[in-house]
Structure formats: C-alpha cells, structure tokens
Chains A and B, each alone.
Chain A
C-alpha cells in the first residue's frame, strides 16, 4: 500500500508479500491488556484501598461530622457525602496512573520504548492507557458504590450506572494527567499538579459540601474544574433525578477528554519519537 518504488538501485528490493500488522482495535486492546496484567498481578494490594478509603470516609466524616450537619437538599449529610465520593476515587486512580505511573514507564523503566519496538504506534499506546485508566475508574467507583451499598445508603437502582461515569472520569483525568506528564522532566514536579489542582478540586467540586452557598466567582471556578461535572452526573444517577443541564456536563467531559488527550498524545509523540 505504502510501497516506495522511487529508489533506483542496481539491486532489487526483496518482497515480503503482504504485510498486515494488527488492526487498530487489536493494538489498543493489547496495550490495555498489558496494563490489566500488571495491575492484577498484585490484586490484593492494588484492590484493597478502593474499598477501605470510602469506609473511612463514610464512618469518619459521614457519621462523625454528619451528626453536626443538618439536611442538604432534604437529605441527611451522609447520603450527600456517599453520593459525592463515588467519582473522586476514579479521578485519583487515573491521575496517579498517568502521572507517576506513566512517567516511570517513560523515563525509568523504559516500558514505552519496549512497547513501541513492537508493532504499536505512540498513539495506540496512549489511547490504550487512557482506556485502562477509564477501566480503573470504573472499578474504583464500583468499589466505592459497593461500600456505600453496604452502609444501606443506595436508594435507587439507577445507582448501578454510576461506575460508568467513573469510567469517563478516569479517561478524562488520564488525558489531563498525560498532558501534564508530557511537560514534566523531574518526577517531583507532579507535586505541584497534585497540591495545586487535584486536591483543591476534590474539595471544591461539591463532594464534601454543596457549592450553592459559595460566592459566585468560586462557583464559576468549580464549573471550570472537570470533577464537578462528573459529580453532578453521578448524583443524578444515584438519586435518579435528571435535568437537561446534565447533557452539558456530559459534553464537557467528553470534549475535555478528547482535547487534552489529543494534545497529550501529540506532545508525548514528540518526546518519544525524536
């Protein structure tokens, strides 16, 4: 298909016959599978935290602090908190995966160099990685949902769809994290990203307290932060109460993922292929 015939030589180029590398789907899947294998290799140590963290949150803050807090939107505080903490776990896991994890693969372990020596492109590698981060987001949100259900806090059957929002959230933050990683030369610089953006986002996205009472400008800032949109979508499914504004939230997440994902891939390609 892309044969070059322009070279004139006294000798003939050897012909290998048809060369058919794996399809795009197969390539993406193989990358995804690599990450799943590595993750599930230490299933106990990797699978434990997503169940324990929400337990501490619900018991400590929900029950402890919640007894001092009145109703929020006509519901007990623990319900507000339980519905809020489903999705940030997806944010954190995807962000760790695609900052520290990706940087180690890029600079220390040289895993990417090994991978693109096989029939993969840089693009395949990072699309596969974003999908894996989404999968982790799905799993982490699902784990939190399980704990929340264990506390008897799930009211609507629609809550089973919240891990899918976790999936999109995972991909969205993977795209953002890879974009950040593409700039980072020293692994310690990720601290700025975490303390400067990720941690504040957790506190100002309507997870532990509602945004309604914040001043106007703070609410605008929260709306620019991607996490707030994920939280709104999760709450809609959790309480089975939908409004047309949710389409905007979903569109925001999808566009954000594509935008940062493609910028990240472009920049990382330049970093890997030089």
Chain B
C-alpha cells in the first residue's frame, strides 16, 4: 500500500512537472536576491543575488575579505543582512530574519573556526549536540555511530578534543553537522589548512552526501576544491559577484586553454606571437594561448626547468579576475 502511494505521488509530480512548461522545473534550496551587508563604512556584501538548486553543490570562491563567510552567515541568521536595503533570502522557503531556528533545524553548519566543546569527549560532543535537536537518546546513539563511521572516526569515539589532530577535528565538525540529518550543509572553508589526504577524504564525503540528496554550500580559497566538487560557483571580490557558472565553463569561457610559465626571463619583454596573451607576475612571465602548437614553439626556445607548460585552471581565471596583488 505504501508502495502504491509512493507511486501515485511520483506520478502526480511527473504530471505537475510536465504541465508547467517545457523545461524541467528545478527545485531550489536557496534563493537570495539583492543582499547587502555593511559594517560601518565597510561593505562586506554588495547586492549579491544567487540561486542554489536542491541536491547540488554550490561554491563561493574569493580572496579573504570578499564577503563569502558573511554571506554564509546571513543564510542562518548568525549575521543579519541590511534590512533597510531591501533584498530577500529564502532557505527552503524560510527567511532567516524570522525563521533562523527552523533553518538551523534542517541545516548542518561547519564554521571556519574549530568550535568543538573542548570540555567534552568526541562522543559527548555529539551526544550533547543531538540534545540541541531534541533527539531521543537511543536514536542519537544510533546516529552518532553512523556519522562517526561515515567520517571515519569510529575509533576516536572516546578521545578528548585536544587529543585530535586538525584533520580529525575538522572531520568531527562535519560529523557534528550531520547529526540532525540535514537537508542543507553549509561549510566555511572546510579543508583550509589540512593535508592532501584529509582533503580528498572530505571531498569524497561531500560528494557522497550530495548523492544522498543533501544540498551543499561551501566557501573556499582552493580552486581545486571548487573544481572538484562544485556544480556551480560564484567568484566573489570585494563583496560582489564577479562571475558565476560551473567551474569547467568558467575556465572555458574566461581563460585560454594553455599556459606557459616562464622563469628567469630577466624581465626582458618577450615578443609574443599573435593569439598569445602575456602577463607578468614578479619575475615570472605567463603566456596564455588556445593554440597548443603556438605556445609549444615558444617553450622550445627555453631549456627544461625554466618553464612549465600546462593546461589553464580555475586559479588562472581567479587571478585574472581578482588581480594578482594581495588583498589584505
């Protein structure tokens, strides 16, 4: 009977989708429109708008101070947006301005800083956290077992927080954010400062979660991270959106396919051929081109070790867009 009911519901949904126009309806998890945030004279977020489809991974990429964290915090009420500037936020239909509690109930939040309870063990941290969601003890114990296994921390159950390494703490923070079986997971720089092994484990877990239907929102400095796990991406700078799109699309659209990095050119200007764009960065010279042959010919004039010839990546897009100078 349950099966029949499910079938009927899915039939009805299909019909609904069909009747609502040609394009298949995308279900949204988050919609933000014209969001502003200022701290005194400092503009943290400036007229930002975006939509996050459900069950996708959405990234915010940008230098320090670009407004990524502030935008994240505005989604669950840790930071209030400038209400006098208008703008709207909806997280699964709830506005953080008045329904922060509801949003936090179905959201898992992993902040940039380690805010585990230092006074409690790994297990106690999760147990107390489950109480904040009023989970019955038996169910909580079951969930804790699951999230610890999922984040590969089962053998650390009785450890004190100070006994954990940075990577373990980060995994525990993610485990804690999963204790309420969230529909939305918000991660602020989830892998900053971690070794490559842990980063790959975390990326795998996030991909797993997405497959399970969790909508993921993350901020990062790492181009590779964005490239590896984000379906859609906003590059932010100085509080605003600079560009948006799937990572591969951004590379395709905004940067040449190949890069030749030259060292020790002695600062002398290099006469590049047509279709080759040049950029200087300190003592380095970067040549960009879509035509591999062209750029290969140039590289042949140099001896091995004095150049790198590679495919362009998101980092090149990022540096092109946000500039090569330090932002702090």
Contact = CB atoms under 8 A, between A and B. Distances in A.
A188 interface: no
Contact of B106 (A11, A16, A26): A16
Given A4-B95, A21-B101, A110-B115, A33 B128 contact: yes
A213 interface: no
A12 B106 contact: no
A273 B51 contact: no
B25 A11 contact: yes
Contacts, number: 141
Interface string A81-109: 00000000000000000000000000001
Interface stretch (B116-124, B250-258, B296-304, B318-326): B116-124
Given A19-B106, A113-B111, A113-B115, A119 B131 contact: no
Contacts of A60: none
B177 to A, nearest CB: 7
B31 A2 contact: no
A121 B98 CA distance: 11
B133 interface: yes
Most buried by A among B29, B94, B111, B132: B132
A114 B112 CA distance: 11
B44 to A, nearest CB: 10
Interface of B: 25-29, 31, 33, 39, 51, 53-54, 76-80, 88, 90, 92-95, 98-102, 104-106, 109, 111, 113-120, 124, 128-129, 131-134, 176-177, 180, 183
Interface of A: 2-4, 6-7, 9, 11-16, 19-23, 26-27, 29-31, 33-34, 37-38, 41, 109-111, 113-121, 272-274
22 contacts: A2-B102, A3-B93, A9-B51, A12-B25, A13-B28, A13-B93, A14-B54, A14-B93, A21-B101, A21-B133, A22-B105, A22-B133, A29-B131, A30-B132, A34-B117, A110-B113, A114-B176, A118-B104, A119-B101, A119-B132, A119-B180, A120-B104
